[in-house]
Structure 1
């Protein structure tokens, strides 16, 4: 069942990511929310840690952009597929598939699980000289 309320939270939340605004992102989470980037990182809990995690992503890829692929929403969740693009601070091009599973509670994000191609993301975030050193 697609609900207007869940879709509205999705739209507001996505706008915060598009604006690269860690403060607004964190505000749309519940106080005890969990954000977990499933690519080797531990989950972070609470608005302050979520704000820090989002800010960290934007510092690694300052022009991070989200190309919409698909969205499924229900009464208290959404699942969305994206293609992430941008230029990492290493100078490498970011072109990575991402899927988000988000649980919503009382109009806010309760849990956000992001599944990304970790190998492709790591390659994009590794400075060229570090990547070259590993091959020699």
Structure 2
């Protein structure tokens, strides 16, 4: 794992932990893609990525991201995470997530998130 990629991951992960859609979007390239591979289309560009992040926090206002494992190279990382919290509907959230992120010139170029769909649908009806 490169120190630079790890440091970038830490800064990016902090934006998600702080539930800050503006900072999240700012760390993406202008033409970046963020795709939560469940049933929705990918968010393309900073405006859509910001909206997708804001929607995530609206669904689970107290969302917590716990890092389980991280592997990184010069221009990517793969992170296994545990998402917990309380859905806006009142139910508990306990979802496993895997992120594959491509980095280009110090920004996120692509972010592909793969979540436990059964747990996600149960948590956010």
TM-score range, shorter chain: over 0.9
User: Could you tell me how far 1:119 is from its partner in structure 2?
Assistant: 1.4
Is the counterpart of residue 83 in structure 1 residue 89 in structure 2? no
Give secondary structure in 1 for the equivalent of 2:12: helix
What is aligned with 2:30? 31
**Structure 1: runs of 5 or more not aligned:** 127-136
1:30-66 superposed Cα distances (whole Å, 9 cap, x missing partner): 0000000001111110000000000000000000001
RMSD in angstroms over aligned alpha carbons?
0.6
**Structure 2 matches for 1:2-13, cutoff 5 A?**
2-13=1-12
User: Could you tell me how far 1:4 is from its partner in structure 2?
Assistant: 1.5
User: Could you tell me how far 1:112 is from its partner in structure 2?
Assistant: 0.2
Q: TM-score, normalised by structure 1?
A: 0.91
What is aligned with 2:39? 40
User: Structure 1 runs of 4+ off > 4 angstroms?
Assistant: none
Give secondary structure in 2 for the equivalent of 1:23: helix
Give secondary structure in 1 for the equivalent of 2:109: strand
**Structure 2 matches for 1:59-78, cutoff 5 A?**
59-78=58-77
1:67-121 superposed Cα distances (whole Å, 9 cap, x missing partner): 1100000000000000100000111100000000000000000000000011111
Give secondary structure in 1 for the equivalent of 2:55: helix
- What CA distance in whole angstroms lies between the structure 2 residues aligned with 1:14 and 1:81? 12
**Structure 2: runs of 5 or more not aligned:** none
- What CA distance in whole angstroms lies between the structure 2 residues aligned with 1:26 and 1:93? 27
User: Could you tell me how far 1:28 is from its partner in structure 2?
Assistant: 0.2
